[in-house]
Amino acid sequence: MQKKYDVVIMGGGLAALTLSIQLKRKKPEISILILEKRETAAATAAHKVGESTVELGSHYLREVLDLKGYLEEHELPKHGLRFFFKNNTKENIASRVELGPRERLPVPSHQLDRGTLENELIRRTREMGTVVELGCRVKDVVFSPEGNEVTYIQNKQELKATGKWSVDASGRGNVLKHKLGFKKDWDHDVNAVWWRVKGVVDIDDWTEDKTWKNKLKPGLRYLSTVHFLDEGYWFWVIPLGSKNTSLGIVADQKLHPFDTINQYTKAMEWLKKHEPLCYEKVKPYGEDEGLLDFLILKHFGHNTQRVYDATERWATTGEAGPFLDPFYSPGTDFISMNNTWLSDLILRDMAGEDIALRTLIYEQTHLSLFESWTCIYQNKYQLMGSTQIMVVKIFWDWAVYWSVLALLFTNNAFTDLKLLKELFASSNGLGRKFTALHKQMQDFFIQWKPYDTEIFSDRYIDPFDLEFLRKFQQGIDEQHGSPEKLVERVSQNLEVLEKVASEIFRHVSKHVKGTSSTMKVNPYTITLNDDSTDTQSTDALAFDEAIAKDVSIMWFYKKEQLA
Ligand SMILES: Cc1cc2nc3c(=O)[nH]c(=O)nc-3n(C[C@H](O)[C@H](O)[C@H](O)COP(=O)(O)OP(=O)(O)OC[C@H]3O[C@@H](n4cnc5c(N)ncnc54)[C@H](O)[C@@H]3O)c2cc1C
C-alpha cells in the first residue's frame, strides 16, 4: 500500500528543500516526501546557478531557516553587488567606473556553492524526518479530495505517492504548468550562459595599480558579486566557497544574439571582443581540466497565471512559478516569499482553517509583486552601456527594494492579511503609490537615454556614501513591533523615495532642458518627453537640501549648483 503524506514536493532543488525545512520547523510532525530527478548527491561548484543572495533571501536562509551557522562556516560571506561600467579602456580595470560598497556591510548576504548547499539541505531536512527520494522523475499528478496522487518513475518502475498537498518545485521541469496550462509569456528576450572553473578568480589581481587596490580592504572585492556591463549585457564573476569560480554572460537577444554565446568557444570569443580583460584573465582557468561545466539558457524569463489552489491543494514554488531576471540576484528572494506564503497556507489548512480567501490574496499579491518588478528589467538592457543612468537606476532599484520589499519581509508582513489589504488592495494604498512611482521612474530612465552620451572613467562610487540608501539598508532588520508602526515606516520611506525621484528629475531636467535646480516637482508626473511634469500644483514637492546632496553624489556630469 502506498504511503500517504501531508505534502509531496515534486523536485528537490533549493525551493523544495527550503520549503520542507520551513514547514518542519513550524510543525515537526508534518510528513513530507520530496521526489528529486537527480540520482546522486549534487556536484560541488558545477551544479546550478543561484549562487549570489541578497538581503531578503539571506534573511530567510539565516533567520527563518536557521542556517546562519552553516552559511558562516561553509559558504562565503558576500561583499554586496559590484558593477564596472563601460569605458574606452576596458583593458584596464582600474580606469573603469566602479560601484560597490567599501566597508563591510552590516546586513549580511552570502555567495552560495549550490551543490554543497543543496547536499546540506537534504541532510538537514532528512534529519528532521522528511523523506527525500533521489532518481525519481515525476510524470503526473491527479487531484482528489482524498489526496493528490503523484506518479513517478524510479529505477524504471512506475510508482505512486499520495499527498494531501502537492507542490511543484521542479524548476524548469514545470510539471504543473505543463499539466494545467497556466504558463504566461513574458516579453523579456534575454539569454544566459554560464560556466564554472576550478580555482579562485580574484579581480583584485587584475592590475598592479596600488591606489585602486587600496580603495578596499584586501579580499573584499573578491567577495562581491561582480558585474561588467555594457550595452545589452553583463558578465558575472562570483566566488564560491569550494574555492572555484562561477562566470556567466547575460545578454539581450536583440543586441547580442544567443548563437554568439551558446558554446564555450563562442562565449570566449564574445568575451574577447566585448570584455577583453575578462577574457585574458579567465581564459587560463578554462584550460585543461579547469572547465567544470558550461550551461546555456535561452529566454530565461517566464511568468505564470497561477501559484496556489486551495480547492485542489496544489501550489508551485521557485522557478516552477514565475522567473524575472538575475541582474540583482533576486531568485532566492522570490523563493523566500513564495515559501512563506505557501507554508502558511499548508499549516493553516492542516489546522482546519478555511484558507480560500487567504489563498486568493496571497496569489494576487505574489503575481502583482512580480508584475510591478518586471519594469526594472524589461527593455532595460539597452541602458547597460549608459553609465550615468545605470548608476542612478541601480541606486533607485536598491532604494525601492530595501525600503519596502525587504523591510516588509523581515517584519513578517506578507502573511498579515490586514496589512496586505492596507498596503496593496486599497486604491489609495501605499503599495499602489509605490508601484506607480517606481513605474514612472523606470519609464523616465528610458526617456533619459538619448541624452546620456558621455563615457566616464576613473571613478569609485559607494552606495553607502548616500545617507538615504545607508539608512534604508540598515533599516531592513529593524523590527517595528506592530502593523501600524510598520505601515508608518513604509509611509516615511515612500516620502523619501518621492523626494529622491523629484531630485533625480531636477538634476536630469536641468542637464537636458536647463530648468531650475530648485523647482518644485510632482514625482508621479515626471517625464522628459514633453512639458507635462507638474511643477506647480500642491502635489509638487519642494527642493530638499539633504536629498539633493545625496543625489549629487551619484551625479557624474558637471555638478549643478544647489540652492
Ligand atoms: C542565469 C541565471 C542566474 C541566476 N543567478 C541567481 C543568483 O545569483 N541568485 C539567486 O538567488 N538566484 C539566481 N537565479 C535564480 C535561481 O537559479 C533560481 O531561483 C533557483 O535555482 C530556483 O530553484 P528551484 O528549486 O525552483 O529550481 P531548481 O534548483 O532548478 O530545482 C528544481 C529541481 O527539480 C528537479 N526536477 C525537474 N523536473 C523534475 C521532475 N519531473 N521530477 C522530479 N524532479 C524534477 C530538478 O532535477 C531540480 O533539482 C539565477 C537564474 C538564472 C537563470
DSSP track, 375-386? HHHTT-GGGTT-
- Which residues have CB under 6 Å of ligand 1? 10-16, 35-38, 48-53, 57, 136-138, 169-171, 173, 175, 192, 194, 248, 250, 297, 300, 318-320, 326, 329, 331-332, 335
Mutation to probe ligand 1, out of 71, 319, 335 (largest number of atoms < 8 A from CB): 319
Domain ranges of the chain: 1-67+114-181+302-371, 76-111+189-300, 386-563
> pTM for this structure?
0.97
Mutation to probe ligand 1, out of 49, 125, 337 (largest number of atoms < 8 A from CB): 49
Report d(CA 45, CA 282) in Å as an integer: 16
Would you tell me how many other CB atoms lie within 10 Å of the CB of residue 257?
Answer: 12
CA 350 to chain centre: 31
Helix (H) or strand (E) holding 490: helix 483-513
CATH, range 76-111+189-300 = 3.30.9.100
| Residue 256 CA, ligand 1 centroid: distance in Å | 24
Question: Tell me, what's the pLDDT at 1?
Answer: 59
Q: Are 503 and 544 in contact (CB under 8 A)?
A: yes
| Residue 352 CA, ligand 1 centroid: distance in Å | 32
List of the chain residues with pLDDT < 50: 561-563
Helix (H) or strand (E) holding 237: strand 233-239
Question: Tell me, what's the pLDDT at 54?
Answer: 96
H-assigned helices in 421-466: 430-448
Report d(CA 461, CA 96) in Å as an integer: 11
CA 48 to chain centre: 15
Report the chain's terminal Cα–Cα distance, integer Å.
Answer: 79
Report the DSSP beta bridge partners of residue 291.
Answer: 197
Report d(CA 496, CA 219) in Å as an integer: 34
Report d(CA 360, CA 352) in Å as an integer: 17
Question: Tell me, what's the pLDDT at 45?
Answer: 84
How do beta strands 148-154 and 110-111 pair? unpaired
Four-way CATH pick for 1-67+114-181+302-371: 3.40.50.970, 3.50.50.60, 3.30.450.40, 3.90.1150.10: 3.50.50.60
Question: Tell me, what's the pLDDT at 561?
Answer: 46
Give the cell for residue 438: 517606481
Report d(CA 468, CA 473) in Å as an integer: 9
Nearest to 106 by CA among 396, 468, 395, 470: 470
Question: Tell me, what's the pLDDT at 560?
Answer: 53
Q: Which residue has the cell 528576450?
A: 189
Report d(CA 130, CA 428) in Å as an integer: 44
| Residue 504 CA, ligand 1 centroid: distance in Å | 37
CA 489 to chain centre: 23
Give the cell for residue 331: 531568485
Q: For the chain, what percentages of helix, strand and coil (3-state, to nearest 5) are there?
A: 45, 20, 35
In this chain, the answer to whether the domains covering 1-67+114-181+302-371 and 76-111+189-300 adopt an identical fold is: no
